[in-house]
Amino acid sequence: DAMVIQNPRYQVTQFGKPVTLSCSQTLNHNVMYWYQQKSSQAPKLLFHYYDKDFNNEADTPDNFQSRRPNTSFCFLDIRSPGLGDAAMYLCATSLGAGANVLTFGAGSRLTVL
């Protein structure tokens, strides 16, 4: 049973054309994260939501934004994708303050042409 579902699994976009990636979860976890994983690199946290509170990492480019309309869904918007934004984007969730175990989705692989 998939508990953190990411769509689409593969996304191809053109340079500068906005793209939205989605994440849904059936775990009722209150914390949701977006990580960026470039080829042969470690995943890197972009931002996270603690309930409705948005927390941006200091080095996350302004080109990346996120929305969380309800507990179950979270979106990653890339306003003007560049070639350097091609990566796997991982959504993860966790439960409660101090939670240290994250549940990951299968990822969305973004290709920028």
Q: How many residues bind another protein (CB under 8 A)?
A: 27
Task: Give the residue, chosen from 21, 94, 108, 110, that forms a contact with another protein under the rule CB under 8 A.
Answer: 94
End-to-end CA distance of the chain: 34
Q: What is the DSSP letter of 1?
A: -
How many angstroms separate the CA atoms of 111 and 113, rounded? 7
81 makes contact with another protein (CB under 8 A): no
DSSP β-ladder status, 4-7 and 19-25: antiparallel
By CB under 8 A, residue 4 contacts another protein: yes
Among 13, 22, 43, 75, binds another protein (CB under 8 A): 43
- The residue range among 17-25, 63-71, 72-80, 100-108 that interacts with another protein, by the rule CB under 8 A, is 100-108
Q: By CB under 8 A, which span of 18-26, 58-66, 69-77, 99-107 interacts with another protein? A: 99-107
Rounded to whole angstroms, how far apart are CA atoms 64 and 2? 26
Lookup: tokens for 41: 């690199």
